[in-house]
Each structure stands twice: as C-alpha cells, then as structure tokens.
Amino acid sequence: MQSTIKDAICFLGDDTSNAEIAFFGGSFTAIDSEYMISLLDATTEYIDRFKGIRISTRPDYIDDDILELLKTYKVTSIELGAQSMDDAVLCANNRGHSRNDIINASKLIKMHGFSLGLQMMTGLYKSSSSTDLKTAEEFIKLEPDTVRIYPTIVIADTKLHQLLTNDEYTPQTLSEAVDLCSDLLTMFYDNDISVIRLGLHHSESLESSMVAGPYHPSFKELCESKILLNKALSVLESSKKRDEYDIYVSPRCVSKMIGNKRSNILRLHELGYNVNIIQDDSVEEMELILK
C-alpha cells in the first residue's frame, strides 16, 4: 500500500494538496476491520500531503463508531453505493440494503462532517425510467456533494446475464440511456450537485466481458450533447423563422453542440434549422446564445 502511495506522489509531483487517497472497488467499511485499519494505517505517513481520503462503501455498513474511526484517519469523503431508492428494485438486484439504510447513512455522514457522495445505477433489473427519476429526486433531497451515475451493463456469466438469456431482463438501448441520463444530469446540475462520473470507465477488460447494455466510452459527452440539443431546440422553436442561425457556445462545448458524428447538426437540419456553431469565451459552459 505504501509503495502505491509513493508511486502516486512521484507521478503527481510536488503538489498533491488537491489529490485524494481513495479506497474504491468494494465496500470499504464492510471488509474485515483489522484489514481496513491496516490499510488506513498505511496512509498516516503521507496523509498530510493530500487533501484527504475518499472511500466507497455500502449504506448498511455505516454507523457512529465507524464514522468516528474514519475521522481519526482523516477520511474526508464517503460515497455510498446506493444504486436505487426503490426497495423493490434493491431487493430484485440482491443489493442487501434498503432505501432507509441509504437515508440513515447519508444523514449520519453529513452529521459527522464528511463530504457525501451517492452512486446510482440506471436500467437495473425491475427498474424503469420513472423509478430512476424518482431515485434522482430522492438523492437531491439528501443534498449530496457529489453523484456518480452508472447505466447498467450486462457482464458475461453473471446473474443478470442469465436473466437476459432467459428474456427476463431487457437492458436499455444507448439512445434510451442517453435520454434518461441527460435528464438526470440536468436535475443534478439545476440543484448544484456535482456529477463526478457518468458512465463506466473505459477498459479492455470491460469491453471483452460485456455482453449487452448502453456502454459508450464517451457516455457523459453524449448526454451533455443531448442537453445542448434540447436547449437549442427550445430557443429555435421560439425564435423568428429565418434561413440561417448562429449558435454561440463555450469553447469547451463546441464538439458537444455539434454532436457525435455531427448528430446534433444533422438533427437540426432535418427539422429545418440551418445552424452555425460559434465558440464564444463569454458564454458559460453548457449554455448557449442564439443570434
């Protein structure tokens, strides 16, 4: 563990003050307590060089004692693998925790002064767009600092793969997932909640083991592109009809406004709008101005 931290320091250079040590890929507080403490002990020599420690864990493995222990090791951020706020969906997917576990853990985490992160999955077995939207609404009420959104991907030789094979589960199409997640993204943005991940990280192992589901290596950009298309349509439909329109966007959003393989431009052209996309430093990110 210490060698990993040393490697990270060498990679990051002198300024690691905004970096975090992170324990992800499992349920950190659910592992053997002695092993968990040994991992935390390994950080003590270096922790003052970092912003803090970020962990992910299960909602049903959070209590006052655990939180007090984490605080002594300078853990600052705790993410909960909530996945859904619908008890029927949680049960059908064998999550092992309930909606109330998520609510109670979130309140405890915030009460003890930690940054709260919530992770959700869309398109789970027995879920729907309406239950996923409801999950986002309930997340917002819990006032997390960050959110991660993961569309469900079917991995080979899993229970979900078996359900798919038996025609008991139908994964979202990429288009359906983009439509839903662009709405979710807008909801969180509108409530000043940072979405720090949307879609799974690209990896060769993921692509080799995936058998179905709405995976795309640039999934978040597809969703942001959809948001900008909807905003463009809203202003175009209420504008005076003319032969050509200029749409000004932030330099960071030019490719998103154009769309993957020019999909937004082509869609607007199909609807009778001939547009030019122009970058403008004065336009805020994810906003646009029609001229």
Identify the pLDDT of residue 11.
54
pTM of the model: 0.91
Q: What is the pLDDT of residue 10?
A: 55
| Residues in Cβ contact with 138 at an 8 Å cutoff, skipping those fewer than 6 apart | 85, 99
Tell me the pLDDT band of 207, cut-offs 50, 70 and 90.
Answer: confident
For 101-154, the pLDDT digits (tens) are 999 999 999 999 999 999 999 999 999 999 999 999 999 999 999 999 999 999
Whether residue 6 is predicted with pLDDT greater than 60 in this model: the reply is no
Provide the pairing of β-strand 245-249 with 275-279. parallel
Q: How deeply is 167 buried, as exposed, middle or buried, from its count of CB atoms within 10 A (0-12, 13-18, 19+)?
A: exposed
Domains 2-217 and 224-290 share a fold: no
Q: What is the mean pLDDT of the chain?
A: 93
Give the least confident one: 14-23, 102-111, 177-186, 223-232: 14-23
CB atoms within 10 A of CB 242: 8
Q: What is the mean pLDDT of residues 205-234?
A: 95
In CATH, what class is 224-290? alpha beta
Share in percent of the chain as helix, strand, coil (round to 5): 50, 20, 35
Contact of 216 with 174, CB cutoff 8 Å: yes
**Taking residues 213-231, what's their average pLDDT?**
96
Q: Residue with structure tokens 């052209």?
A: 269
Residues 252-281, mean pLDDT to the nearest whole number = 96
Q: What is the pLDDT of residue 2?
A: 54
Report the percent of the chain where pLDDT is more than 70.
95
For the domain spanning 2-217, the CATH number is 3.80.30.30
pLDDT tens for each residue of 61-80:
999 999 999 999 999 999 99
For residue 19, name the pLDDT band (cuts at 50, 70, 90). confident
Q: Where are the domains of the chain?
A: 2-217, 224-290
CA 197 to CA 53: how far, in whole Å? Answer: 18
